[in-house]
Amino acid sequence: MRFSGKTVIVTGGGSGLGREIALRFGAEGARVVVSDIVPARVEEMIGLITGAGGHALGVAGDVTDPAYADKLVALAGTVDVLVNSAGINDGARPVDETGIDLWKRVIEVNLTGTFIMAKAALNPMLEAGRGVILNISSVAGVAPFAGAAYTSSKHAVIGLTKSIAGFYAEDGIRCIAICPGTVPSNLSENQPKSTSARVLRRKSYREKRPAPGTPRQIADVVLFMASDDASYVNGTAEVVDGGLLAW
């Protein structure tokens, strides 16, 4: 029960990795504020967490909307931990296959949405003199393992993480990027895939590498980084990839 009495916002908390993270925080005593763009997912998660004896509330909306971010933070009241897990993929498209609309949307959700949520959560954190912001990046944030838009957005999330850590460390606020390797999720399952020979060749190469991880393995690291046990960790990009980058 490391998070008993603490309030945790999880964006993208209705599916995939965000769902596992929200459930784990609920199981460890946190008051979980679930954010997702699909209302039914929010309601389902509230039911699952409270049904297991935890505490949860939430509201659906788009993290790229500053008004929604402010509404979510107001609903939370206090924010001890913010997990920016909301994100979309780009179908592993290289630059020449990436349309400008896809580029803008991926950057908007993955980077701008993370910025907007962090900006909103910083107000109550600064007032309290403490807080942890965990931004879900990717191994694509440190190496070119995905398409142009996704890779660029996740590199930028790490840059934003370091900026937040540097500016707010003396205010008692930590900010860390978590960089998962291959983990099955709705991002990978529901996105249209490129079928060009170049992309398929790269996919074949990647599939020879370590087996995919599980959302639980990533959530374990997220909860550790959010806890007081990681109080001296700040401004880093923590790769959790089963050794993928070592291959």
Q: Among all residues, which ones are annotated catalytic?
A: 150
Indicate the residue type of 123.
N
Q: Which residues pair with 55 in a beta bridge?
A: 31
Q: Which two tokens stand for residue 173?
A: 């606020």
Yes or no: say if 233 and 176 are a contact pair by the CB < 8 Å rule. yes
In this structure, what token pair is assigned to residue 174? 């930590």
CA atoms within 13 A on the CB side of 58: 35
What would the two tokens of residue 165 be?
């850590």
CB 175 within 8 A of CB 164: yes
Helix or strand holding residue 116 (H, E): helix 113-128
Distance CA 45, CA 11 (A): 12
Question: 3-state DSSP call for residue 179?
Answer: strand
Q: Which residues pair with 174 in a beta bridge?
A: 132
Q: Report the candidate in 12, 226, 236 with the shortest Cα–Cα distance to residue 110.
A: 12
